[in-house]
Structure 1
Amino acid sequence: MTKTILIYFLSLIFFLVILPAITVASGLFLNKLLNLPQIVYLPYNWSLALIFIAFGAFWMGWSFYVLIKTGQGNPQEAFGKEILPAPKKLVTIGPYRYTRNPMGFGWFIIVAGIGIYLGSISVILIILPIVLMAVIFYLKYFEGKNLIKRFGDDYLRYRENVPLFIPGFVKKRHHDKN
């Protein structure tokens, strides 16, 4: 139990503090380097950022809860290796009806909110798209393969019907293999 709590704590620190800080710092560095203006100004950036951050946090929390409650496992894995016991059941309800990676989607929205708060063009238009491509690569070539091994045809059917990352706004391409 102590190991599980420690891993959750370290994961929260990594995904909600360290990774966003690196993402935002990179964007702010590019803003300065390229002498780019702010995109949203006070007080509008606070309001808009709060909406984004709350929406992203909702998606992350909802998906985490549903994964543990329904899937009976933990979302902690890295490059196909379990850090904590993986979910025993394929979860296709709750936020998983809309996207195969609602936690990643939520995180992306939170960091976009931070970029809006800071008024950073680079965070929104340069850094986040690069991060999104890296996340999609990871999901397709590491996590997806692991889910196929674990859940077989059930996951393949699920994959055919649910978008990889952006919930319900993008139709699934039939030739996508993950």
Structure 2
Amino acid sequence: MKDRFLKQARREYGPGQRAVALVLLAPVFLFLMPCIFVVFGAWLDAWLEWPSILSPPSNVLVGCLLILLGWSLAVWSMYGLFTIGRGTPVPLMATQQIVVVPPYTYCRNPMVLGAMGLYLGVAVLFGSFGALVLVLLAACALLVYVRRIEEAEMVLRFGDEYRAYRERTPFLLPRFRRRS
């Protein structure tokens, strides 16, 4: 199984193939996932009679700010994976090189952080406490996957180089260092 995984992970795809994968997956992460959170969040809100998170216009301002920041961080992260790593966020088109440039120097999972910010922003924009709970549950599940599965795969693929990166870079919450 390990050999099969390594063979698949080492397969390099061209920029066109990687771009097609990103274009096909973008609607899932930018539209389908937020819709799922909003629809099921609204159902939870109604079922549990939860109040709105924030009232207008606060929900619009805070929600849009979180969406913009989260989206920007996710796109910046994907750019690094695409150009330097020569891969995608999709495990089937794994990066061929470890990416250790910003935003990956601030935390090891800036794309996850960006996605969480984007989805939390959608929950706040719609004022849905239920959506907020669903986003947090999904984020917890994703973080467990990243910590247990993805990081083990990175050690398998990149060895000591990834171990050293993991030692000096926080998992999720960014650390900004002063340059001396």
User: Does TM-score exceed 0.5, indicating one fold?
Assistant: yes
> Which band: TM-score by shorter chain?
0.7 to 0.9
Is residue 2:167 matched to residue 1:160?
yes
Match of 1:90 in 2: 98
1:107-136 CA distance string (max 9 Å, x none): 110111111111112222x21221111001
CA distance in 2, matches of 1:4, 1:153: 27
1:156-175 CA distance string (max 9 Å, x none): 11112222223239xxxxxx
Match of 2:90 in 1: 76
Match of 2:65 in 1: 51
The alignment yields a C-alpha RMSD, in angstroms, of 1.8
Match of 1:103 in 2: 111
* CA displacement at 1:64 relative to structure 2: 1.0
Structure 2 counterpart SS, 1:167: coil
Gaps of 5+ in 2: 1-13
Gaps of 5+ in 1: 170-178
- For normalisation by structure 1, the TM-score amounts to 0.83
Give the letter for the 1:68 counterpart: F
Structure 1 counterpart SS, 2:84: helix
Of 4-13 and 52-61, more deviation after overlay is shown by: 4-13
Give the letter for the 2:90 counterpart: Q
Change (3 A) 1:158 1:4: closer
Of 91-100 and 14-23, more deviation after overlay is shown by: 14-23
Structure 1 counterpart SS, 2:69: helix
Aligned pairs for 1:24-63 within 5 A:
24-63=38-77
1:74-112 CA distance string (max 9 Å, x none): 2211xxxx2x2x222211111101121111111110111
CA distance in 2, matches of 1:89, 1:103: 17
Change (3 A) 1:166 1:40: same
* CA displacement at 1:24 relative to structure 2: 2.3
* CA displacement at 1:3 relative to structure 2: 4.6
Give the letter for the 1:133 counterpart: C
Number of aligned residue pairs: give it.
Answer: 162
Identity %: 30
2:30 to 16, 40, 48: 16
- For normalisation by structure 2, the TM-score amounts to 0.82
CA distance in 2, matches of 1:5, 1:107: 19
CA distance in 1, matches of 2:100, 2:161: 10
